[in-house]
Amino acid sequence: MWAIYKLRMKSLFRMLRMGVYLLGLSLLLAGCANTPALVEDINTLPNPPGTTSYRGPEDPVIQTLTATYLVSFGDQYKLTDSRNLSIESPATWDDVAQFYKSELPKSNWQPISSAAVVADSLGQAWQRGAQRFTIARLVGSGSARDILVLTLTTKQ
């Protein structure tokens, strides 16, 4: 009787141990599947229609704006890539903002609030996994076009 009980308990523990192993493996695989691939090149993200690469002079305001975003995200985020675009007429900031609001969620980017993004009229910030993508608008004066400062940062 005792031998039969002992044999059943041994079989039960084997099945329990196998179940724990399978559960651990499935959780590991599920965790890997939900981790989005890191974007290394900002040029792989979509560009709104009506924008072109900025070809103007190096602008200290652009550099300051990029640095402001990095500071607002804290030391844990490092700059991965950046890019500047010009908004060409007849496109407007509203067109650009709407484009990103419709396109980025298709790639699992979620809008976030940021101290650096004061209002939607000045910029947007998005996050996917360990990365943040920001769009800041520098309003052109006179005949100058608006400039978009795009930054991609990765949490370290």
Q: Which tens digit of pLDDT belongs to each residue from 41-96?
A: 888 899 999 999 888 777 777 788 777 767 777 778 888 888 888 888 888 888 99
pLDDT number for residue 6: 57
pLDDT tens-digit map of 101-124: 999 999 999 998 754 555 455 788
Let me know whether 102 and 130 are in one domain.
Answer: yes
> Rounded to an integer, what distance in angstroms lies between the CA atom of residue 35 and that of residue 104?
17
Mean pLDDT of 131-142: 83
Let me know whether 26 and 59 are in one domain.
Answer: no
Residue-number span of the structural domain to which 8 is assigned: 1-35
Let me know whether 108 and 135 are in one domain.
Answer: yes
pTM: 0.69
Let me know whether 28 and 57 are in one domain.
Answer: no
CATH number, domain containing residue 145: 3.30.310
Report the SS3 class of residue 38: coil
**What does the block give as tokens for 38?**
């890191």
- For the chain, the domain total comes to 2
Angle of CA points 80, 32, 37, to nearest 5°: 25
Let me know whether 52 and 31 are in one domain.
Answer: no
Specify which residues 81 forms β-bridges with.
Answer: 152
Chain center to CA of 93: 21
- DSSP category for residue 56: S
Long-range CB pairs of 15-24 (<8 Å, 24+ gap) are none
